[in-house]
Amino acid sequence: MERIFHRKSYLLLIAFFSLPLAAGLTLAAPSQNFSGATPLEWSQRLADSEMARQTNAPKWDYTMGLFTLSLLKLNQEMPDARLVKFSDEKVGSLISSNGFVQGYKRSEYQLDALNPGKTALALFEAVTNHDARYLHACDELVSQLDDQPRTFDGGFWHKQRYTNQMWLDGIYMAAPFYAAMGRYFIRPNKAYEEVAKQIRLADEHTYDAKTGLNYHGWDAAKIQPWANPVTGCSSNFWARADGWYAMALVDVLDFFPTNHPARVQIILTLQKLSQGILKFQDAKTGLWWQIMDQDDRKGNYLEATASAMFVYALAKGVNHGYLGRDYVPAIVKGYDGIVRNLIQADGDGKWSLTQCCQVAGLGGSPSNGKMRDGSFDYYVGEPVVKNDLKGIGPFILAGIEVQALTRTNIR
């Protein structure tokens, strides 16, 4: 793949997830109380609380990439130098003067490792006056996809060690970053076409028409212990997998040209998934279950990270016109459900997000000794923790988008 940096014409490009307030619009009161605070105020509360908790040394990690990106998006809505400083310390400090990324191992071909590149690109475009080291780092990261291992039909393996496997997680980790970096390529259409292909393959191989949801993973060889020997799919609808996928779809559209032929298909894929997501929203709380279609089966629980991801993706979809306004009641109910049921006051002005699935995957050799077999018992048996960044980041982003839903045209 050929790439080029347009050093003489760097522009402040449209950043991830932002939706500026249009002329003639004002903020209206939300239809729900949200426990006495606006969505942006809740985003700020969780951002402040989590920054205070994050005292470890910086590490190149997809979860920190998600969290810091959410901070930079929040900074666009509520400017705060602390948000930028924290993001640069946690991600930017790992990038050397020549763009070398400390902790990144290209030979592992992990799609997860590309996710912090979104923060690096946001720092380059909108924060650091186009410090070239950030773009050099992003170029090195995206070049991994030049020779990323692929399935027989061209799907990116999730990692080198996950032979012939596509995971929904990987669509989020790589596709929006790849599409964003397309603007710096000599042939940008190649990037857009590749991103569209990855989304199409994920949809073709993991979508279940009966539920309207997508399975977590697909084994092209159909030999993994967790894979259905006929379809190659894993056996359950893990909520966070669909959450990653939903976020990927709305984020990719930020960067696709409006006249690109694949744009319509991506929007249709988002609409199809959104219908499935809505179908399995808990009627009482507005939240979503760890295993989406098993509701109150013994051991199942209402899970925070996926609930935040769904609220964010659906709200952004409405705000950008990909989804109809008829989704708004469910979005508001979902956001209110998170605030009412999953946000916990810790004292001293700090707040926590509870009921987060700590981690889940397929196959491999987990440190806790459990077989990651994709079963119901596996997914509900993984640790449930507070303040996982895979929930904090989407909750902050959800607040930004839900705040936008409260804007009313007064002209």
Residues with catalytic function: 169
Maximum Cα interatomic distance, the chain, rounded to a whole number of Å: 61
- C-beta of residue 157 within 8 angstroms of C-beta of residue 108: no
Q: Which amino acid is at 154?
A: G
- C-beta of residue 226 within 8 angstroms of C-beta of residue 362: yes
- C-beta of residue 165 within 8 angstroms of C-beta of residue 217: yes
- C-beta of residue 372 within 8 angstroms of C-beta of residue 340: no
Q: How far apart are the first and last CA of the chain?
A: 49
- C-beta of residue 171 within 8 angstroms of C-beta of residue 198: yes
Q: Which amino acid is at 285?
A: T
**String of DSSP letters for 199-217:** HHHHHHHHEETTTTEE-SE
Q: Which residues of 298-333 are buried (b: 16+ CB within 10 A; e: fewer)?
A: eebebbbbbbbbbbbbbbbbbbbebbeeebbebbbb
